[in-house]
Structure 1
Amino acid sequence: MAGRYHSPRREAAAQATRAAILQHARTLFLAQGYCATTVSDIAHAAQVATPTVYSSTGGKAAMFAELLQPAIRDPLAAQEASAALQAGDPREVMTHCAAAARHGQERNWDLVTTLLRQPPQDEPARQAVADIADGCLTALTRIARHLTRLDALAPGIDTAHATDTLWYYFGHNSWHSLIIERGWSFDQAEPWLLDAATHALLAQP
């Protein structure tokens, strides 16, 4: 029985079409919001038929979920989070933690600030938003446990309290408040948040 014919040129064209659709979806989501954007809008912008959008990407919610993947799996954020878990000095742990949070926010700022402030209700899209929060919380929990193992936390602070404190200082709301609402730069916000979180969490030498 003959196998299926494989055309590299056709596959490359399909991948290019898919990439174009996703890029136009990203532009429209950021410009007019997820809810206001239709699949027909995306198809028109990408100059393809509406069924092509569905066959290439799976639909609007699937596109939204895929567009958030860079924020979920940012390599520099992951590198800094890993360095935090390997550091033996508590202040070095906090420095890497702050850098990880900054990379995760700054490198994906338009997606995070625009698409996550009013998350959609479609289940795949909601799950993508939840994945970002879960990934951030998991990373911060691991760092809090590492600080506990180093016996670095101030008296009365346990791992759960440390996790919540890290979330308060390095979660999205703090960055949004300082940068969007107060006009700070990331270069201003990172050391300030690092200093505040360090003072709140670590035992004084």
Structure 2
Amino acid sequence: MSAEVGRRRYDSLRRTTQALETRAGIAEAARRLFVERGWAATTVRDVAREAGVSVPTVYSVYGNKAGLTRALADAADLSGDVAQLLAELEAPEAGPGRQLAVMAAFDRRLFERAGDVITLVREASRTEPELADVYRDGRARADETRVAVFSSWPAGTLRAGLDVRAAVDVYAGLCSIDVYTTLTAERGWSPDRVEKWWCEALVRELLSPP
């Protein structure tokens, strides 16, 4: 087989790889600028310049600035490793205490890897209805997971006076991006320490005493 034929055979793979690299480069440039300058102060032209591509390329790949932000939010959700979360939640040996620890570990990974994206989406959602939907959808997915887990527990597992919805509210109040940021950025806690405290606090606040 000639070298020319070999090159042609891999042209499709090469184009796909280049397209993925372009998408990733645009997304990373957007994330960097959104975090540094704020969502409202960053334009599509700024993102294109930072990524080294043309403005039409950004529009063709992501549609608009809101579409780009939605893609960043989707990537943020995945960064916590949802597959690992589900596998650990469904493990036969995972009782309520262990499941709370698994969810706390997921939130720690999510905030550690993508807390900046979560924060910028929330801030942008104050003025952009489409991004408000993105933020609400993310919160709703998190609540759905907690409802499913808490509802699967035998009667009497939750602390007296708590129903599933109240337990979800308590969890959301404890394991939030604001609490994580306050403890790590302002109070000097390590992510390990935050996760350990979350695990202890969740058991104390949500589960009936043994």
TM normalised by structure 1 equals 0.83
Identify which range, 131-140 or 116-125, moves more after superposition: 116-125
- SS of residue matched to 1:73: helix
Q: What does 1:80-95 correspond to in 2, within 5 Å?
A: 80-86=85-91, 87-95=93-101
Identity %: 31
- Following the alignment from structure 1 to structure 2, what is the Cα–Cα distance between the partners of residues 21 and 99? 29
Question: After TM superposition, which residue ranges in structure 1, 4 or more long, deviate above 6 angstroms?
Answer: none
**Cα RMSD (Å) of the superposition?**
2.3
> Shift in Å at residue 151 of structure 1?
3.2
Q: Once the 2 structures are TM-superposed, how far is the Cα of residue 38 of structure 1 from its aligned partner? A: 0.5
Whichever residue aligns with residue 64 of structure 1, its letter is T
1:146 paired with 2:152, answer: yes
- Contact 1:105-1:172 within 8 A present in 2 as well: yes
- Equivalent residue, structure 2, for 1:197: 202
* 8 A Cα contact 1:81 1:139, kept in partner: no
Equivalent residue runs for 1:171-190 within 5 Å: 171-190=176-195
The alpha-carbon distance between structure 1 residues 188 and 11, as it changes in their structure 2 partners (threshold 3 A), is closer
CA separation of 1:106 and 1:181: change in aligned 2, threshold 3 A: same
Kindly indicate whether the alpha-carbon contact (under 8 Å) linking 1:81 and 1:100 is maintained by their aligned counterparts in 2.
Answer: no
| Equivalent residue runs for 1:99-110 within 5 Å | 99-110=105-116
Q: Would you say the 8 A contact 1:90–1:150 is kept in 2?
A: no
Shift of 1:101: 1.8
Which blocks of at least 5 consecutive residues in structure 2 are unaligned? 1-10
1:60 is matched by which residue type in structure 2? K
1:84 and 1:16, CA in 2 relative to 1: closer, same or farther beyond 3 A? closer
Give the aligned partner of residue 6 of structure 2.
Answer: none
Which residue is 1:111 aligned to?
Answer: 117
Rounded to whole Å, the distance in 1 between the matches of 2:20 and 2:76 is 22
Whether 2:176 is the aligned partner of 1:168: answer no
CA distance in 1, matches of 2:94, 2:26: 46
Letter in 1 for 2:136: A
Q: Which structure 2 residues correspond to residues 31-42 of structure 1 after superposition, within 5 A?
A: 31-42=36-47
Q: 1:161 to 1:14 in 2, by over 3 A?
A: closer
Contact 1:22 1:63 in 2 (8 A): yes
Q: Structure 2 vs 1, CA of residues 23 and 45 (structure 1 numbering), >3 Å: closer, same or farther?
A: same
Aligned partner letter, 1:143: V
1:53 aligns with 2:58: yes
Paired residues of 1:26 and 1:67 also in contact (CA < 8 A): yes
Equivalent residues, number:
197
Q: Is 2:146 aligned against 1:133?
A: no
Q: Is the 8 A contact 2:80 2:106 kept in 1?
A: no
What is the TM-score with the length of structure 2 in the denominator?
0.81
**Counterpart in the other structure of 2:73:** 68
